[in-house]
Amino acid sequence: MKKYSFFGNLRFMMKKAWKNSRMAVLLTAFSVPFSIALPFLLTLLSSKTVEYATGGVAETKLLLLISVLMLAITVATLLLRVINSFLPKYSLINRTKLGLEIKESVARTDYVNLENSDYNAMRNQAQQAVGSNAGIAESIFGKMALFLTNTIGIVLYSALIFRLSPIIILVLAVSTVLLYYVGKINVRWIQKNKTQWYEIDRKKQYILGKLGSFGAAKDVKLYGVSAWFYKIYMSLLGQRIKWSRKSEMRTGGIDILSAFITLLRDGLAYGLLIYKISKGNLSASEFVFYFALIGQYSVYIYGIMNGCIDLYRSSLCISDVRNFLDYKSVMNHGKGADIFQSAPEIEFHDVCFRFPNSDALILDHISFKIKRGEKIALVGINGAGKTTLIKLVCGLFIPTDGYISVDGKNISEYNIEEYYSKISAVFQDIYTLPMSIEENIAGFRADIDYERLNAAIEKAGLKDKIDSLPDGLRTKLDKTLFKDATELSGGERQKLAMARALYKESPIVILDEPTAALDPIAEEKVYRIYHSLSDRTTSIFVSHRLASTRFCDRIFYMENGRILEEGTHESLMRDGGKYAEMFHAQSQYYTGDFKEAAE
């Protein structure tokens, strides 16, 4: 993980703020001189009032000065109130835009990153950093204003107090350094350990999300697992409370130590002031002036100490955001090789794959070649590596070792967005988008080819369903956003996904369990449709129903990340290997033999 400097982080955030919400930066800058002037004017007013009471200056001149001071205080107070009333609004704009930038980065990132635990941890930390009004994107303006006010105030007040006694400046400076480093130790401890409670918070949110999920509600109700979810949630809550207590105990101890240092500092400063007036070295008005000056100086000292710690903490949060936004893409998003327009040849060259931070090989030294326009079936038990293999073909994953060539070129040579445009894929999990049926199939575009759209819907077997809906193709999906939306069944969603793949008319077709939610008749129809398209596409089919893949040119039987058997259905049956064994086991359930086998 890259390390960023403190000042580099502040510069980064101010550049973002200037771009996202320029008014927030200007209001922050304007607030500083008024924030410094106001307490000084109040101090001066108190001193002059005492001087007036003791008759130290001509009455008319002093009253005029007091009136001017009161007017200046009123103006400064009103202007600060106006600035402080508008600043939150413009700070929120910066937070919103930076939050959107993080979300856009997530949307644009390579798919492989989404299954990377390191990437997800960084995303979580970045979202935590800007996810509330206390996050750095919104609070940075107030912190910068306070830091600048305290810094400039200390410089100005130091010059005034130095005239009284350099010793006071020394005492206040030493105490400030001590308080800063005490606070910094706690911030470092929090930064070091926060990933652990962030992970606990993420799991808590996941559990709560499942409990409130419409999709999970049936299983939760029917299998009575709400108590199990509750037990897990309470366990996570207990872990989170332990971390909170550790943090509170450390913070409490540091607060006590800070209070002791502050008491010692103020005692020495005020003691020296009292000593001077007792010796007649200060007048009453001077005593009031310096007493208030030292009080405000202590506020500035405490403020800059806390401000430095706050900005240091903010800098660490900014580092989280920068690390996430700077996360490198692994795919080629720039200029790529000329993309193929017709069914390509696909070849695996000694390909291995393992997930990040894992030693287990999902695919183990796989090599094969798929000819142009060839139809391949991937079969095997669960966990054999079939879905991982097709994700590699799709360019969603990158091989750990070896490489994959498509149309004679390494996939990495193509612009990945252009490469995706040449693939029609239907995966096991079908997600409908919160838009109309026609937009779900053809994409969110103005130039929909309705002749091709209707043909794809007809072939996918979705025509009768759409015709039965009042709004037809313009029917919205997802009741979460649209009250009049319709909900499709599992089989209908798979038909929708297949219509989407058919409409796209890509040179590569990949179906990962596309018929799992369909009845055998509908399944047979789907495979017949894709069989008719096979002369124009290179196709890979993944299925647990071996009878459905008999039409394929070749069948790969996979197990433990390797291709153990390869051939046509007939040749594999003659060989009598594991494919034949699995085929016979399944066929019993479609004949009377399963009854005899059960007996």
Tell me, what DSSP letter sits at residue 401?
E
Write out the E strands in 363-466: 363-370, 375-380, 401-406, 409-410, 423-426
> DSSP string of 123-146?
HHHHHHHHSSTTSHHHHHHHHHHH
Beta-carbon neighbour count of residue 130 at 10 Å?
23
| Direct distance between the N- and C-terminal alpha carbons of the chain, in angstroms, rounded to an integer | 61
The confidence score (pLDDT) of residue 596 equals 44
Alpha carbon of residue 516 to chain centroid: 32
DSSP-derived pairing of the beta strands 562-567 and 508-512: unpaired
Question: What does the alpha-carbon distance between residue 389 and residue 427 come to, in Å, rounded to a whole number?
Answer: 13
Burial class of residue 509 (count of CB atoms within 10 Å of its CB; 0-12, 13-18, 19+): buried
3-class SS letters over 485-520? CECCCHHHHHHHHHHHHHHHCCCEEEEECCCCCCCH
pLDDT tens profile 466-500: 999 888 999 998 877 788 888 888 778 888 888 88
Question: How many CA atoms lie less than 13 Å away from 120 in the CB half-sphere?
Answer: 12
> DSSP string of 42-94?
HHHHHHHHHHHHTT-S-HHHHHHHHHHHHHHHHHHHHHHHHHHHHHHHHHHHH
- Helix, strand or coil, per DSSP, at residue 565: strand
The confidence score (pLDDT) of residue 58 equals 61
Name residues whose C-beta falls within 8 Å of residue 457's C-beta, 6 or more positions apart in sequence: 441, 463, 466, 499
| Contact in structure between 422 and 506 (CB atoms under 8 Å) | yes
Task: Check the CA dihedral 333-339-341-345 and report its sign.
Answer: negative
- Which pTM was predicted? 0.71
Beta-carbon neighbour count of residue 18 at 10 Å?
13
545, two tokens: 């129903």
| Contact in structure between 376 and 370 (CB atoms under 8 Å) | yes
Type of residue found at 336? G
Give the largest Cα separation in the chain, rounded: 120
Question: What does the alpha-carbon distance between residue 507 and residue 284 come to, in Å, rounded to a whole number?
Answer: 92
Question: What does the alpha-carbon distance between residue 342 and residue 158 come to, in Å, rounded to a whole number?
Answer: 78
For helices 450-460 and 520-533, angle between their N-to-C axes, nearest 10 degrees: 140
For helices 136-164 and 22-53, angle between their N-to-C axes, nearest 10 degrees: 30
Type of residue found at 203? K
Distances from the Cα of 223 to the Cαs of 220, 265, 554, 596, in angstroms?
Answer: 6, 65, 42, 32
The confidence score (pLDDT) of residue 595 equals 42
| Contact in structure between 125 and 195 (CB atoms under 8 Å) | yes
Question: What does the alpha-carbon distance between residue 595 and residue 599 come to, in Å, rounded to a whole number?
Answer: 6
DSSP-derived pairing of the beta strands 375-380 and 363-370: unpaired
Name residues whose C-beta falls within 8 Å of residue 398's C-beta, 6 or more positions apart in sequence: 112, 330, 331, 392, 412
| Contact in structure between 463 and 471 (CB atoms under 8 Å) | no
pLDDT tens profile 258-300: 777 777 777 777 777 777 777 777 777 777 887 788 778 778 8
| Contact in structure between 22 and 257 (CB atoms under 8 Å) | no
Question: How many CA atoms lie less than 13 Å away from 447 in the CB half-sphere?
Answer: 0
β-strand partners of 477: 486
Count, in order, helices (H) and strands (E) of the chain: 20, 10
- Domains, the chain, with CATH or none: 6-325 (1.20.1560.10), 346-427+506-592 (3.40.50.300), 433-487 (no CATH)
Question: What does the alpha-carbon distance between residue 38 and residue 441 come to, in Å, rounded to a whole number?
Answer: 64
Q: Under the phi-then-psi rule, with left for phi > 0, alpha for psi from -120 to 50, and beta for the rest, what region is 505?
A: left
2, two tokens: 């890259």
Question: What does the alpha-carbon distance between residue 204 and residue 283 come to, in Å, rounded to a whole number?
Answer: 64
The confidence score (pLDDT) of residue 484 equals 83
The confidence score (pLDDT) of residue 410 equals 95
Alpha carbon of residue 343 to chain centroid: 37
Question: What does the alpha-carbon distance between residue 428 and residue 420 come to, in Å, rounded to a whole number?
Answer: 18
The confidence score (pLDDT) of residue 599 equals 41
> Which residues in the chain land under pLDDT 70?
1, 55-59, 191, 211-225, 444-445, 514-535, 589-599
Phi and psi, residue 119, nearest 5°:
-60, -45
Alpha carbon of residue 216 to chain centroid: 24
The confidence score (pLDDT) of residue 134 equals 79
272, two tokens: 């020296």
DSSP-derived pairing of the beta strands 375-380 and 554-559: parallel
Sheet holding 508-512, edge to edge: 423-426, 508-512, 538-542, 375-380, 554-559, 562-567
DSSP-derived pairing of the beta strands 401-406 and 409-410: antiparallel
Question: What does the alpha-carbon distance between residue 174 and residue 422 come to, in Å, rounded to a whole number?
Answer: 68
The confidence score (pLDDT) of residue 12 equals 93
The confidence score (pLDDT) of residue 305 equals 74
